[in-house]
């Protein structure tokens, strides 16, 4: 398991995100629970748009969550950052 770069974000919804380019998986750490969700099959362009969005939380709610099936992963077991 390679470490993934954890990118802190300015959002009340998310505390950090990460992206695995090889696997095309977006990782999102939610502020309210601390849980990390993996969203497979997210194109790099979508991840880049998320980082550039005026509201990261709104982009996540409107563009990522409805379009990609996410699942909870465990820090340390499934992801290292």
- Determine the pLDDT at residue 2: 60
pLDDT digits (tens, 9 = 90+) for 4-24: 899 999 999 999 999 999 999
Full domain range(s) for residue 18: 7-73
Q: 1 pLDDT exceeds 80? A: no
- Residue 80 inside a domain? The answer is no
**Domain assignment present for 2:** no
Q: Determine how many CB atoms are found less than 10 A away from the CB of residue 15.
A: 17
Q: Has residue 44 been placed in a domain?
A: yes
Structural domain count, the chain: 1
Report if residue 31 sits inside a domain: yes
| Each residue's pLDDT tens digit, 9-68 | 999 999 999 999 999 999 999 999 999 999 999 999 999 999 999 999 999 999 999 999
Which are the contacts of 3, defined by CB distance < 8 A and separation ≥ 6? 80, 81
Rounded Cα gap, residues 75 and 81, in angstroms: 8
Judge whether 52 lies within some domain. yes
Domain contains 30: yes
């Amino acid at each position: 398991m390679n470490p993934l770069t954890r990118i802190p974000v300015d959002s009340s919804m998310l505390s950090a995100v990460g992206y695995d380019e090889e696997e095309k998986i977006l990782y999102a750490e939610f502020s309210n629970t601390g849980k990390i969700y993996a969203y497979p099959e997210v194109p790099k362009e979508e991840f880049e748009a998320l980082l550039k969005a005026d509201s990261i939380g709104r982009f996540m709610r409107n563009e990522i969550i409805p379009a990609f099936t996410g699942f909870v992963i465990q820090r340390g077991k499934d992801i290292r950052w």
